[in-house]
Amino acid sequence: MATIRVHDRVFTEYLSAAVIQERVTALATQINEDYAGKKPLFLAILNGSFMFAADLFKQIRVEAEISFIKIASYQGMRSTGQVVTSIGMEQDLHERELIIVEDIVDTGKTLHHFLPSLQQQQPASIRIATFLHKPEATTFEVPLDYVGFSIPNKFVVGYGLDYDGMGRNYGALYQLV
């Protein structure tokens, strides 16, 4: 089993790059069907979603825009609980079909606190696409429309997700040993 070391920790491969790509393709196909004739605006939440957002967006075949925003801070292996206001949101969201692109929904706190600020701007719709979901960790229910993988409540890195800034640079996903 392939392992990587990030800082002081060892992680083992949990989802291969090929398995991830296959799933991302399936999500893109679904989104293309659901948004036929529409012009969605993808809002990719930095930093963790950059790889998922890029792979997903490359396979979108409806007219679409993408914007990258930053909303939350995360340190170490647990959510800090602090949610920072969004940076980089310049678009007018009124009447737009929004698709939020997240790396992982853990407790749900980040999106729970972020969604009202989007709703205030009266978009036509809001859907959430998340690469990963940890159902066991949920404390704030948020409606997830497109989920790449539901995973156990263990810390993961790779495919854009970090451990204290490192480990984002892998096409596969790794789980803490």
Catalytic annotation, pick one of 34, 92, 106, 162: 106
- Closest contact distance (angstroms) between CB of 109 and ligand 5GP is 4
CB 51 within 8 A of CB 107: no
Counting contacts by CB under 6 A, is residue 104 touching ligand 5GP?
Answer: yes
Q: Is 93 in the site for ligand 5GP (CB under 6 A)?
A: no
Give the nearer residue to ligand 5GP in terms of CB position, either 149 or 155.
Answer: 155
154: left (phi over 0), alpha (psi -120 to 50) or beta: beta
Q: Catalytic: 8?
A: no
Cα 80 to chain centroid, rounded: 18
Instruction: Answer whether 82's CB lies under 8 Å from 59's CB.
Output: no
Contact flags string 122-161 toward ligand 5GP, x per CB under 6 A: ---------------------------------xxx---x
- Footprint (CB under 6 A) of ligand 5GP, residues 4-63: 48
| Residue 107 is a binding residue for ligand 5GP (CB under 6 A) | yes
* Closer residue to ligand 5GP (CB): 59 or 155: 155
Residues classed as catalytic? 106
| Residues contributing to the site for ligand 5GP (CB under 6 A) | 48, 72, 74, 79, 102-110, 155-157, 161-163
